[in-house]
Structure 1
Amino acid sequence: MREFGFQPSQDDFDKLLYVLCKRKHVKHAQEFFDRAKVELDFKATAKSYSILMRGWGDTGELGEARKVFDEMSRTGCELDVQACNSLIDALCKGGNVDEAYKFFQEMGSKGINPDACTYSMFIWAYCESEDIHSVFRVLERMKRYNLVPNVYTYNRIIKKLCKKDKIREAYELLDEMIENGADPDSWSYNAILAYHCEHSEVNGALRLLSRMKKENCSPNQHSYNMVLKMLIRIGRFDRAEEVWNNMGKSGFYPSVSTYAVMVHGLCQKRGKLEEACRYFEMMIDEGIPPYSSTVEMLRNRLLGHGLLDNIEILAGKMERSTSCSVQEFARIMRGNKLSVGERRQYSDSGGSDFDSD
């Protein structure tokens, strides 16, 4: 920059450090940092040191992170909460939570008050170590200081609670988020929705879908895919159809993955091959290219039941599609047909979990 008559600013300096660390080139960032202080006479700030500490922490080099912090202290650079958080983050990610907590206790004597980010790093560390009791202990302490975790931290706790079958506590935390003004996002609801779906709790899943809409957090592709997959798996085809129809009314339009859930699921259920074909045709009519695995599954089920005409009908419809990508998949539907002998062998071998419930 100097060659072109520009004097690099402190912000330029920090941005370069950040990019290097973000791309895991922390060693190069450190070398540049050390050289710039001497050759370019840059005065490193607390932000500069913080970037380096987080960089070393992300690569698991706790010793290097400590060295940066020690240098910062020696040079008399004013310590701030961001710098403290960077060291705590590095220690927590390295599994040294006790050391991080000891440093946390010393922050007050340094004239620095922990912020929500400080506490959140401990929450993430305790979630990682499955220590839910300590997670709630940190949350209680945050409440005493009127600090609120961000949505990402709440989501992490909710997901951990659901994995430990503490669904009541997960709902309570969801309510707490709303009360504290940390509006839940689709990840918040989907963590709980996944629990209901894994445990085949139809009413719980459908109530939560309805709640999402009422609380202005529209269910996304993952939400609907989970619920539809569960409903088909347990044979609640009527409710699956109801959810499908309500998607359109809510302004959600299914993608290839949602169609795939329907086609794959119905293909594996007794007497539902015609329904699977119907959803496949809907996808083709929408000009949505299917997954090759979806085409192959549907083709194999049709072959297994001797429905060669249906294969021709679907392949013809695909060839007439306005989507070139859809047209290309017609070759998979038509071109890889088994011979009659192979088809019989496939059918006689029970080639299908289609008839399984």
Structure 2
Amino acid sequence: MDLTYTPEEEEFRVRLRGWLARVLPALPPRPDPRDWPGRRAYDTGWQRMLYDAGYADLQHEATPTQHLIFLEETERAGAPYVGANFVGLLHAGPTIAAEGTAEQRERWLPPILRGDEVWCQGFSEPDAGSDLAALRTRAVRDGDSYVVTGSKIWTSHAEVADWCELLVRTTPVTPQTPKHKGISWLAMPMDAPGVTVRPLRTLAGSTEFAEVFLDEVRVPVGNRIGAENDGWRVTMVTLSFERGTAFVGEVVACRRTLGLLAREAVANGSWDDPAIRRRLGRLNAEFGVLWRLTQRNVSEAGAHGVPGVGGSVFKLRYSHARQQLYDTAADVLGPAAALDLDDPHGWNLDRLSSLSYTIAAGTSQIQQNIVAERILGLPKGR
């Protein structure tokens, strides 16, 4: 992409800065990160403010550079991020925009952008592990509905969601039917009869994940995105957004965190340790390169509608860089950083959270396979 800014883009930056300076001081205090109903209200309230100001749909209505300027400026100003509706705004919404019909886009995209409806992700299953195509949740066609039975796990924000991007098996696996071929992508209402949500408590004490049990849940056929049994291809679109552009704001946040950490190292004397300086310098270079890769992925999404396989390169490096950032933070901050488990805004909770990034959105092993096969052209492992 062209890394220079046009006069129009610089004007957009100035206008956005002015708006942020006006509205951010009036925001209410942020709720405890573990209060998901409170966070839903806070996050969707911010989304509504973005919508009313014309900033809600920059991913699709603006140039890739304007989108990146928006992310840079909102993070620089300390504005809220997508929060509880990251699935709707960063996964399901972009997938529906790319693959849905005109009626489906009209039904679901405006409520997502206004902050009216929150989505969760129903992909992973207890017995499938990292092999997403091994899912067993079945959907049997009955007239104008699918009758869905099965279970999902690690369903992000299910306890506060209105809709679920749900993968189901619409054709049983047989020796003649590869497991990837019988999957469909459905939009399931979370208040449908037969849906049971059981929150899961993480190592950090939060409950943003849940088990979801589905007992003959009826989902209209009109809620299917893409053709029946074409859900694996649609899912690859979803995952390309999840890995390629959904972490954009987090890269900006990590660069900001790194700056805070460097200043703390100077203040407490740990900067005098050459090993600490090397680690901080290396992380600065790492996140600088990740930001350039982010620009490439966002540009590709803007040009072609979806990001390419470069998202897996990004996801692989970002996951490990984030862990290294918080490992370094622990060494810079010392024992004090290990004693703030009860502080919902503390460093230690961020460090614990960073451990999940090599698993979430596809494990590092999965990303390595994608890079090897789809970028390097290596043969599949046996």
TM-score after normalising by structure 2: 0.24
1 or 2 for the larger relative contact order (CA 8 Å, sep ≥6)?
Answer: 2
TM-score after normalising by structure 1: 0.25
The structure carrying a bigger strand percent of its residues is 2
Higher Rg? 1
